[in-house]
Amino acid sequence: MTEKIAKNPEDWKKQLSPDQYEICINHGTEPPFSGKYNDTKLEGSFKCTCCGEELFSSDSKFDSGSGWPSFWQPISEEKIEYV
C-alpha cells in the first residue's frame, strides 16, 4: 500500500468537506444510491479524495446493485488496503 499521509484532524477538516471527512477519516458511508459516481458511465479513473492517487479504472467498474460504485480490480494492489 502507498504510504499513509499523517495529518491531524484539523488539517483534514480544512481539506475535506464534512461528508468527505466522515467517510474518509471516520470510516462512515454515504446513503446508498446517493453518490455522484454510483450511476456514472464516464471513462477514466477514480482517485482517492485524500491523496489524489488513482485507485480504480472505469474499465473495472460494475453495477453491484448495492448503491455504491463497485470495482472488480484496483489499478494497483499496492494502493489498496483491504479491511
Average pLDDT over residues 4-12: 91
Confidence band, pLDDT 50/70/90 cuts, at residue 26: very high
37 pLDDT more than 60? yes
Q: Cα(83)–Cα(9) distance, rounded to whole angstroms?
A: 22
So what's the pLDDT on residue 45?
Answer: 95
Dihedral angle, C-alpha 81, 5, 18, 25, nearest 10 °: 40
Q: Cα(9)–Cα(21) distance, rounded to whole angstroms?
A: 9
So what's the pLDDT on residue 2?
Answer: 62
> How much is the pTM?
0.81
1 pLDDT more than 70? no
24 pLDDT more than 60? yes
Question: Hey, what CATH topology would domain 9-79 get?
Answer: 2.170.150
